[in-house]
Structure 1
Amino acid sequence: MDIGHRLRAIRKNRGLSQRELATRAGLTNGTISLIEQNKTSPSVASLKSLLDAIQVSMAEFFSTLEEPGESKYFYGADEFTEIAPPHLDGAQAQLLSLRQLGSAQDHALQLLHERYAPGADTGPGMLSHDAEEAGVIIRGEIEITVDDEVRTLGPGDGYLFNSRLPHRFRNTGREDCEIISACTPPSF
């Protein structure tokens, strides 16, 4: 997906200049320009800040990847929608994967299959969105910060919190961390 082109189209559709969007999102005008030209890829946290500033959820932003049509009940592993922003170099692209099951716009629940390589995180900024989220760690370890609490969770451990609280995910372990998570309503 061409993230820069999609962001530019939505920004212009909303009648915002790059400067206005940068101010709303807490980023620099130069950063917006580089993202729109696909010369840099935003972290998950930066993309979330940008989308919050233009009032578009991650699910809506990436919805063009989903095929509209009849109800669908079953999905093969290759039919999930990758909603984590791709990175420019190959090594970075392998650090984080957030794969969404089905179309979050058609349901009251957003289900994700998440994978964090060692050292991967959702970005330096904290995330916040209007929802509740929960997850179970399938393998590896993940450090989760919610508000002012930090906890490292491993296989079989879980979390449940109000997503309006600032939060962040970071793999501090030595192996990939895999999580199955849910968000309701879909707002990530």
Structure 2
Amino acid sequence: MSDDVGVRLRALRELRNISQRELARLSGVTHSSLSQIEQGRVSPSVSSLKKILDVIPISIGDFFTMDIERADQVFYQYAELPTRYSGDILYRLVGADRPARALSFLIETYPPGADTGREVAAHRGEETGLVLEGEIEVTVGGRTRHLGPMDTWYFDTNIPHRFRNTGRTACRLISCCTPAQPDMHRSEVHEETPPEAELNSD
């Protein structure tokens, strides 16, 4: 187990072009501990591993399931994109197998009534996107706008923001945010697949 963690961690760190000493400094883990982890001599605690992976950034789940040898993949078929759900909202992440990615690029589907939540999201970085079909209500700070096909947005993500489908048909959009998030952005998401949301996503 410790050998696998060490091999994966070193590969991800090098792909991200972060020195061992820099990763130790940013994560708050000692340089000697990080070195021993990469050499497979010790197994990190879950909390220590999370601190390290948050710097890269990548979620613990993706860290253990990612095919490191495919980290240089260039082209993706829609059907092979990993999916996540937050309530009824479907997220498909492009380049999930690229641990060194500098941005998160998502294809999002909002069925009628879908909402990122009253507790509006905020995180460091920038976001832009484009509505492909349907309509979406976007709130950024104190400003709200209803956007339709080919309408776009661009904002600093440290400003609280919210996405809501107030229409009667599904809305599909693409979004891109920097820096890359360890998991899908906007809200905490999970892998369970609501049958009704899956039907509405196609």
Q: TM-score interval w.r.t. the shorter chain?
A: 0.5 to 0.7
Deviations 1:74-102 (A, max 9, x none): 111122122334x5xxxxxxx21011001
1:72 aligns with 2:73: yes
- Alpha-carbon shift at residue 72 of structure 1 (Å): 0.1
Question: Number of matched residues?
Answer: 132
* RMSD after superposition: 2.6
What SS is found at the alignment partner of 1:172?
Answer: coil
Label 1:129 to 1:67 Cα distance change in 2 as closer, same or farther (>3 A).
same
Alignment of 1:43-58 (within 5 A): none
Structure 2 gap ranges (5+): 1-44, 186-202
What SS is found at the alignment partner of 1:84?
Answer: strand
Label 1:76 to 1:173 Cα distance change in 2 as closer, same or farther (>3 A).
same
Deviations 1:104-135 (A, max 9, x none): 63211211000000000112211011110110
2:140 aligns with 146
Structure number, greater radius of gyration: 2
Deviations 1:15-46 (A, max 9, x none): 8xxxxxxxxxxxxxxxxxxxxxxxxxxxxxxx
Alignment of 1:28-177 (within 5 A): 60=59, 63-64=62-63, 66-70=66-70, 71-85=72-86, 95-103=88-96, 105-177=99-171
| Distance in 2 of aligned mates of 1:136 and 1:145 | 15
- Alpha-carbon shift at residue 68 of structure 1 (Å): 2.3
What SS is found at the alignment partner of 1:156?
Answer: coil
| Distance in 1 of aligned mates of 2:79 and 2:68 | 17
Deviations 1:134-180 (A, max 9, x none): 10000000001111111110001000000110001000011000001
| Distance in 2 of aligned mates of 1:82 and 1:128 | 22
Q: Say if 1:81 and 1:102, in contact at 8 Å, map to a contact too.
A: no
| Distance in 2 of aligned mates of 1:135 and 1:74 | 20
Deviations 1:32-81 (A, max 9, x none): xxxxxxxxxxxxxxxxxxx9xxx689952552554322310011112212
Matched residue type, 1:75: Y
| Distance in 1 of aligned mates of 2:158 and 2:136 | 20
- Give the TM-score, by structure 2 length: 0.58
| Distance in 1 of aligned mates of 2:117 and 2:55 | 19
| Distance in 1 of aligned mates of 2:141 and 2:127 | 14
Q: Say if 1:131 and 1:183, in contact at 8 Å, map to a contact too.
A: yes
Once the two structures are aligned, what percentage of the paired residues are identical? Answer: 37
Label 1:184 to 1:62 Cα distance change in 2 as closer, same or farther (>3 A).
farther
